[in-house]
Amino acid sequence: MLNDRDMDAVFQALAHESRRRMLDVIKEEPGIGVGALASGFDVSRIAVMKHLAVLEDAGLIVSEKDGRTRKLYFNAAPIQMIHERWTSEYSAYWAGQMTRIKYLAETKETESKTQRLRKRG
């Protein structure tokens, strides 16, 4: 479970458009190097490094040194933990409601078909 400080760090990291775009790239290209990532942004490499530091402090990325290259990987765990904090107790309720609606709709459809067949016969 994330504490309030950790959650604040995740929300702060996600609040900036460039960091969200960086996360998208890292998610789609696991192990991308910092240089390759930076080349896709119209800011200095230092600015990219600062954004990456915010993302890493929030636990949203993990970096790994591979020789002279720093490889980047997306970590969805903090986002998932935040999601579960507010949704897990409601998910079961709404899944049950959706099943109920599906059952009612299917029953209604079956009744309609039966009535049409009776009218024909």
DSSP state, residue 100:
H
Same domain, yes or no, for 93 and 65?
no
The runs of H, that is alpha helices, within 1-121 are 4-14, 17-28, 34-38, 45-57, 77-120
Identify the CATH number of the domain in which residue 65 sits: 1.10.10.10
| Number of domain units in the chain | 2
Instruction: Please indicate, yes or no, if residue 42 is contained in any of the structural domains.
Output: yes
Tell me the residue type at 15: A
Q: What is the pLDDT of residues 59-107, one digit of tens each?
A: 999 999 989 999 999 999 999 999 888 777 777 777 778 888 888 888 8
Is pLDDT of 33 > 90? yes
State which residues form the domain around 98.
88-121
Distance CA 15, CA 63 (A): 21
Distance CA 85, CA 2 (A): 9
Instruction: Please indicate, yes or no, if residue 82 is contained in any of the structural domains.
Output: no
For 70, the enclosing helix (H) or strand (E) is strand 69-74
Instruction: Please indicate, yes or no, if residue 15 is contained in any of the structural domains.
Output: yes
pLDDT at 2 (0 to 100): 81
pLDDT at 29 (0 to 100): 97
Same domain, yes or no, for 65 and 97?
no
Instruction: Please indicate, yes or no, if residue 46 is contained in any of the structural domains.
Output: yes
Same domain, yes or no, for 8 and 67?
yes
pLDDT at 16 (0 to 100): 97
Q: What is the pLDDT of residues 2-24, one digit of tens each?
A: 888 999 999 999 999 999 999 99
